Structure 1
Amino acid sequence: MDGLPLLILPPSLIHSVEQTVLEESGGGPHQAGTTLKLKCQTSGFQFKTSKLGWYLWAPGHAPLWLTSLKSSSAEAREDRITTSREDAGSRIFLQIEGLGLRDSGQYHCSRRVGNGDDTDKLVFGRGTDVTVEPGPRAPLSPSVFLMRNQDSVACLIRNFHPKELHVSLASSGALISHQALALSPMANGTYRAVKIGRVGENDTVTCSVTHLGKEIHVSHQPDHTGPDPGIASEQKLSCTEKNLTEGPEQENKLFLSVMGLRLLFMKTVAINVLFTAMALIS
């Protein structure tokens, strides 16, 4: 495995060497359990004598080494990962069998430049994005939570399949501003989503979710007389099996779900709901 100091930097920040060109292709959505096949077209250097490879980069993490490829040998991080080359076309290939959700991210092919010691540099291509979607499973209706802190509101939707759904936030006062929706797969093969926005502090807010033709409505009315008006939720569910916000165990599940959606919040709009929840469980 190539352990190089440059791995602390995002691939996009590593400058090119000479006229090295690395162009990846084959990304996009892929279903879990299938086989991923990527290609990297190269130019601008001596292909046959170069040490090439593949890395996976997920935001917040250093690039993860996957494979290395020399003219006479190849090595890979896992048995399900293979790499090959086509000298005539100056191309290398990456194949990953049995895709899982952890394989999502940006894939970069690389060229190692140097004398084979710790002073070597890595040159990365721009990368190709791969999103691994959960495989087929029985339809599952979502659990919906509504969280609020002053003028910030978040509607959390968890454990649903398929991923197609419609989410809206409505207020008894002015229209909710800065609405943003983010969706991602979960490790259990279902999906989660969050819709966030801003609303008047004294307005009642309702989150409406439509999934597989069924509607779920969750409402919250501010109550400044309680022990903690910063976070409150009241559910009016039409198509769920039970109320998931009753009792300490269910409250813990709610807070854990917020933690699991932390990155989605950071990618959309920074609101105080998340940080309040984090403080409660820290």
Structure 2
Amino acid sequence: MSFTRRPNQWRRTLPAAATTSSRSSSEVASTARASSRVGSSRRSPLSTSVFSRSMKADPGLPDGPRPRRVCTTETDRRVGIATPWAAGRAARVCPLPTKAPGGTMAFGWIDEQADARRRAGLVRTLRPRPADSPLLDLASNDYLGLARHPEVTEGAARAARTWGGGATGSRLVTGTTELHTELERELAEFCGFEAALVFSSGYAANLAAVTALASHGSLIVSDAGNHASLIDGCRLARATTQVVAHADPEAVRKALGTHEGAAVLVSDTVFS
């Protein structure tokens, strides 16, 4: 759908960047007249009203009203407003919604999917654990039982009093403290490695490891029983990923034999 205006009005609505174009005003006007002949049969009251709603007076411009924004990309031409989107081009009318969609219209599909999961018995109900419980927790990641060790809890209390209740930022910005670097240095020495990097969770660590070791052009051979974090890491790495049968060394050999470049074998340590 297109919409055109008279040449003298075209110059008023062209974006500021368009005034530096090498095309002359006569060429722009000629293009506008040609587009008017082509698009006049497709004009409609809707396009006119949409265009009028997209204009507002700008006291900073001597020429008067101008569009709120100028369509400069393909996306803008689809969802923007009726305005010339480049120097010397005819204006394009992009439909604008008259109001925001209602909650039912925009998010009804979420309720439908939630109902389907509920009917399939796939809805999990979380059970918050209390601070003190007579039950023995055999499902935690506190393998060494250090979460409640007196030295650990006292150290955490001292750190909170010194550094506050949070890092106040991400590691990449302002969240790396002296405690982080000290911990990473001690972990590297304890494990006998050159360096160490601490993450907020095992999930984040797996994502980082896989994406750092593999990239476009390399091959990832992934065990079929790998954790979701490793699977997502393979996807984010944008490498060629070949999934092999669980715990099948022969399948791994065959997969590696098909690739001459860099390859990474990804496998869980403990499968659950």
- TM-score normalised by length of structure 2: 0.24
Q: Tell me which protein shows more helix as a share of its residues.
A: 2
The structure with the largest alpha-carbon Rg is 2
- TM-score normalised by length of structure 1: 0.23
Q: Tell me which protein shows more strand as a share of its residues.
A: 1
Q: Which has the higher contact order (CA 8 A, sep 6+)?
A: 1
